[in-house]
């Protein structure tokens, strides 16, 4: 989606290795979020950020950490990847000036942990 990009789009990694996913926005939105999407669970919030260096946990934060050193970038790190973290990860942003108070989502990162 315009204004928000995720990288990489696809990644295969081995169990026990660290992995970092990046979300980059050009909209200057205050809020950024990381979700994971799994069959039967919809989208579940992992972590979110409400400003530079301000982050908090979501409903499925165990095994994940995040960092936001500047407005544009929100990083999601799996310190030691496990097979249960195989999922599609979506970044979202919100807090713009428009009428839409909802979120804008990135295109997703498909992570496979083998």
Partner 1 sequence: GESVGLHLPTLSVQEGDNSIINCAYSNSASDYFIWYKQESGKGPQFIIDIRSNMDKRQGQRVTVLLNKTVKHLSLQIAATQPGDSAVYFCAQMVLTFGGGTRLMVKP
Of 1, 54, 56, 79, the residue at the interface with partner 1 (CB under 8 A) is 1
**2 contributes a contact to partner 1 by CB under 8 A:** no
41 dihedral zone (left: phi>0; alpha: psi -120 to 50; beta): alpha
**97 contributes a contact to partner 1 by CB under 8 A:** no
**54 contributes a contact to partner 1 by CB under 8 A:** no
Of 2, 42, 59, 114, the residue at the interface with partner 1 (CB under 8 A) is 42
Of 2, 59, 83, 101, the residue at the interface with partner 1 (CB under 8 A) is 101
Tokens 């928000």 correspond to what residue? 4
- HEC secondary structure over 7-69: ECCEEEECCCCCEEEEEEECCCCCEEEEEEEECCCEEEEEEEEEECCEEEECCCCCCEEEEEE
**51 contributes a contact to partner 1 by CB under 8 A:** no
**59 contributes a contact to partner 1 by CB under 8 A:** no
**90 contributes a contact to partner 1 by CB under 8 A:** yes
């Amino acid at each position: 989606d315009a204004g928000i990009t995720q990288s990489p789009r696809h990644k295969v990694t081995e169990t026990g290795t660290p992995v970092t996913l990046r979300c980059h926005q050009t909209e200057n939105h205050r809020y950024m979020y990381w979700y994971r999407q799994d069959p039967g669970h919809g989208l579940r919030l992992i972590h979110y950020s409400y400003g530079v260096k301000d982050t908090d946990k979501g409903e499925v934060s165990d095994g994940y950490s995040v960092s936001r050193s500047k407005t544009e970038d929100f990083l999601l790190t799996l310190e030691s990847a496990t097979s249960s973290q195989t999922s599609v990860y979506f970044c979202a942003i919100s807090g713009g000036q428009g009428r839409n108070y909802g979120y804008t989502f990135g295109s997703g990162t498909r992570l496979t942990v083998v």
